[in-house]
Amino acid sequence: MIYVVACVAAIAGLLFGYDEGIIAGALAPLHARFDIPPLQEGLMTASVPLGALAGTLTAGWLAAPLGRRKLLLGAAVLFISGALICAIAPSILVISLGRLLLGLAIGIAAMVAPLYIAETAPAAQRGMLVSIYQLAITLGIFGAYLVGFAAGDSWRVLFATAAVPGIMLLVGVARLSDTPRWLVLRGRGEEARKALARIRGLSTGDSAVAKEIAAITAAARDETGSWKNLTGPVARPALVVGMGLFLLQQLSGINAVIYFAPTVFEHAGFSETGVQLLATVGLGAVNVVMTLVAMALIDRIGRRLLLFIGFAGAALSLGLIAFAAGTGSDQLQILSLVGLVVYIAAFAVALGPLPWVMMSEIFPLHLRGPGMGAASLTNWTFNVLVVLTFPLLLDRLGLAGVFAIYAAVCVAGLFFTARWVPETSGLTLEEIEAHLKAGKPFRRLGETQASGAAADVNIAPLPPAAVSSPVATAESVLGPGVGRS
């Protein structure tokens, strides 16, 4: 049954990526059919993240009274409706309205699908399932690029194909029950017991089921968190990290590249539409492959080192594109292509998955819902800002100016990581929460835990040359003290 949950999560992530990436292949034929000024193009493209912003607020408001399953079913209906409206639209305004519905569905699914996973999956498999969700997003983007390349000028067919995974999500969720945790919160204990037994593949009378239901019931009684507590001394450091990482992720310009990849290639000197779309498909493939690399590395070398690698790689690659475009280099095409490939690789291996992973780790239990909501709102707010402003900035500053701004943001990300981001690898959620409640500097989290463990077993610290850890590795690459958490 746990694999059914994984498949449902993957479908929601697939829709997330597909409906975000599909505009890249549709822009050229839409321009051929309609007169679209830069501001209208930005509004049409930004309607998805704008709808997602509203969807996040809707999900946070309705998740408790309606339940996780009903919200996912509603999101599936919105996915199907939005895709069909775009496919039959007679104007850019109607397309924008259809994409607004798609954004609303994305915002709901992006918050509720991980919540559904967290409340149903065994702890030992939760991390893998979250990673599958992130991988599915990149597969959705890649699939949208492939369909865009294959569809050519048939933009109506391109939009209509987005209804297919929406139907798959609707059918998949319809076969599931709501989560045991939500059922307990609504006082439906017997239904919760049956749902949990079905998910675990056990009988309702099994002692393991009874024990887990008892733990869920006890945890439900202890939930007293609210949005206003996020700014208190305990949760504030986690809030800064959660919101800060999403702000930097979006201002690095990723969705300008994802949504407007053919436009970027056009300004980089690739004049033929077919070549632009083929290069865009290549970026989607790099995104998928490097997300797999991130899944392999995230628990091995640590969150902080991956963030340093991601921000440094993104800053250098974006700076290369800005320099080539600004100087009018004869090698603009090749330098831009190399820069975009390195940028997508750096983003996929770190800046893409890590804000989502850390968002689910750093908040105390009773504030995890509000904390994830605040971080998600930051994500979609700055997603809207970047997508809305990209056509205008490109028109006024050119490719060099826009990418120089994004590169500067990535440089700021290096300083933010060094100053604020803790190392959470290898620590339990309870250890992270205890550190926050103790009032210790959040970025010293891993260091404090490690020194405390050494003191407990009376082991002298190892010499620096003998240490093999994310902290030591980061210091060797970036200088003393940089890797400290």
pLDDT tens digits, one per residue of 426-449 = 776 667 877 888 888 888 886 654
Binning pLDDT at 50, 70 and 90, where does residue 270 land?
A: low
Cβ contact 367:235 at 8 Å? yes
Please indicate whether residue 274 or residue 181 has the higher confidence score (pLDDT): 181
Residue 14 inside a domain? The answer is yes
| Range 405-429 average pLDDT | 89
187 within some domain: no
Closest CA to 181 of 217, 221, 129, 130: 217
Tell me, yes or no, whether 170 and 232 share the same domain.
Answer: no
User: Does residue 213 lie within any of the structural domains?
Assistant: no
Contact 83, 28 (CB under 8 A): no
Domains in the chain, number: 2
pLDDT, average across residues 301-313 = 91
Judged against a pLDDT cut of 50, whether residue 462 lies above it is answered with no
* pLDDT value for 466: 40
- Picking from 176, 194, 212, the residue at the C-terminal end of a domain is 176
Average pLDDT over residues 172-199: 83
| Mean pLDDT value across the chain | 77
- Burial class of residue 187 in the structure, from the number of CB atoms within 10 Å of its CB (0-12 exposed, 13-18 middle, 19+ buried): exposed
More confident residue, 57 or 309: 309
Domain boundary among 118, 142, 176: 176
Of these ranges, 35-39, 102-106, 233-237, the one predicted with the greatest mean pLDDT is 102-106
Q: 158-172, 286-300, 307-321: lowest mean pLDDT where? A: 286-300
Higher pLDDT, 435 or 276: 435
Q: What is the per-residue pLDDT for 81?
A: 94
Position 182 in a domain = no
Question: With 90 as the cut, is the pLDDT of residue 128 above it?
Answer: no
Q: Where would I find the H helices in 268-367?
A: 273-297, 303-327, 332-346, 353-362
Residues 145 and 242 placed together within one structural domain of the fold: no
Nearest to 153 by CA among 7, 322, 4, 31: 31
pLDDT of residue 477: 37
The domain boundary residue, chosen from 139, 159, 176: 176
pTM, full prediction: 0.71
Residue 396 lies in a domain: yes
Asked if residue 1 is part of any domain, the answer here is: yes
- For the ranges 127-131, 191-195, 319-323, 479-483, the lowest mean pLDDT is seen at 479-483
Same structural domain, 147 and 262? no
Its domain, for residue 318, covers: 226-452+460-485
Percentage of the residues of the chain whose pLDDT score is greater than 70: 78
Within this chain, do residues 152 and 271 fall inside the same structural domain, yes or no?
no
Q: Domain with 51 in it: what CATH number? A: 1.20.1250.20
480 lies in the same domain as 377: yes
Q: Do residue 26 and residue 161 come from a single domain?
A: yes
